[in-house]
Amino acid sequence: MHIGLVVYGDLEPRSGGYRYDHQLVEGLRKRGDRVDLLSLPETSYAKRLGHNRSRRLKRDLERPFDVLLQDELCHPSLVGMNRCLDVEYPIVSIVHHLRASELSGIERVLTTALERAYLSTVDAVICNSRPTRAAVAERSSVPGIIAWPGGDRFDHHPTNASIAERARRNPFEIVFVGNLIPRKGLETLVRGLSRVESDWRLTVVGSGDREYTREIHGLVREKGVSDRIEFTGWVDEAELATCLEAAHLLAVPSTHEGFGIVYLEGMAFGLPALASASGGASDIVTDGETGYLVTPGDERAIFHTVETLATDRDRLVAMSLSARRRFERHPTWDEMSARVRSFLETRIV
């Protein structure tokens, strides 16, 4: 197949969505397909609407593809453009999560309307979780499938015996992995941890918005926990694997996650996930069994979760091993791309 893929910028895996797109392209090319990347400039949300008037973009999109994939993140750039295309190929949108799901007030209303209009221009959708698929179904009757992300990013994982042995160590080690942006809930995590009496440490892996990062550092100083929290910035995969292997709990209490690949990657190391109850994490995190689903902004739930696991190591062992088993049952990245490819073949007439 000759496939086009529309994204903002490049496929550098700076987030779960970009990692998904990157792995999908790799899987399709591995199977002999030609995949051309159609890169749109990264700019403000409002300015992206201007892309709909681009003659150059229209020419690029009207190339003779067998199918055109569009990352749904690009909806403001394509909502009008798709209606103007003179093409025979199907347009399939990859939906990691709808942007309106993380918004509120009038901004949510306007974005919902724009995303609904965009979804009416595509022939099918590929969603990363059941909650994401349900959110799409609330806005459109477009057909589609769920193709879960893989979690098999790392070659080496600890044994069950080492996972159980690690659970007995002190202090209680927590790791946060993600972009430092308000949506990821690091502020709530710090506030919740500051109330925990047990001996704990937090490693923050990631970087992002400068103003938000300054606010987080200020909060850490205000709460008097500077000696318990280490900020590493982004690290290479070997160092990230070391962080995950040393931890007891992966905590990313986001306001919303379309899926949350990092939760699954943590489970590969036997880490229960402290995850968002909003979005797709419920597809992989069973509350009280493989982790805990917390309401966004609920610092008290974070306090109770960490205090419970830090003081009940038998429960931690059971949940750690359950998390590892959940990872082992999950589809791989290769299985994800194979599922998507089979679906795309059914869309081509």
Round to whole Å and give the CA distance between 95 and 76: 14
- In 164-290, the DSSP E strands lie at 172-177, 200-205, 229-233, 249-251, 273-276
Mean pLDDT of 120-131: 96
Domain count within the chain: 2
Residues 216 and 318 both lie in one domain? yes
Give residue-wise pLDDT tens across range 234-263.
Answer: 999 999 999 999 999 999 999 999 999 999
Round to whole Å and give the CA distance between 96 and 261: 11
* Bridge partner residues of 126 (DSSP): 94, 145
Q: Which residues contact 315 (CB under 8 A, 6 or more apart)?
A: 308, 309
pLDDT value of position 102: 84
Round to whole Å and give the CA distance between 165 and 270: 11
CATH of the domain at 292: 3.40.50.2000
Q: Which residues contact 10 (CB under 8 A, 6 or more apart)?
A: 37, 39
Token pair for residue 198?
């047990």
DSSP secondary-structure letter at 156? -
pLDDT tops 70 at residue 339: yes
pLDDT tops 60 at residue 327: yes
Residues 284 and 338 both lie in one domain? no
Task: Report the side by side order of strands in the sheet with 124-127.
Answer: 34-40, 2-8, 67-71, 91-95, 124-127, 144-146
Mean pLDDT of 55-84: 96
Residues 137 and 208 both lie in one domain? no
pLDDT tops 90 at residue 287: yes
- Quick one: pLDDT band at residue 203, thresholds 50, 70, 90? very high
Please check whether residue 240 lies inside any domain of the structure: yes
Residues 15 and 124 both lie in one domain? yes
Please check whether residue 55 lies inside any domain of the structure: yes
Round to whole Å and give the CA distance between 318 and 244: 18
pLDDT value of position 104: 87
- Quick one: pLDDT band at residue 309, thresholds 50, 70, 90? very high
Lowest-pLDDT choice from 20-24, 99-103, 341-345: 99-103
Give residue-wise pLDDT tens across range 35-57.
Answer: 999 999 999 999 999 999 999 99
- Quick one: pLDDT band at residue 98, thresholds 50, 70, 90? very high
Residues 122 and 8 both lie in one domain? yes
Residues 206 and 134 both lie in one domain? no
pLDDT tops 80 at residue 13: no
Segments forming the whole domain that contains residue 104: 2-150+332-347
Residues 135 and 213 both lie in one domain? no
pLDDT value of position 12: 85
Residues 302 and 165 both lie in one domain? yes
pLDDT value of position 349: 56
Residues 182 and 302 both lie in one domain? yes
Please check whether residue 155 lies inside any domain of the structure: no
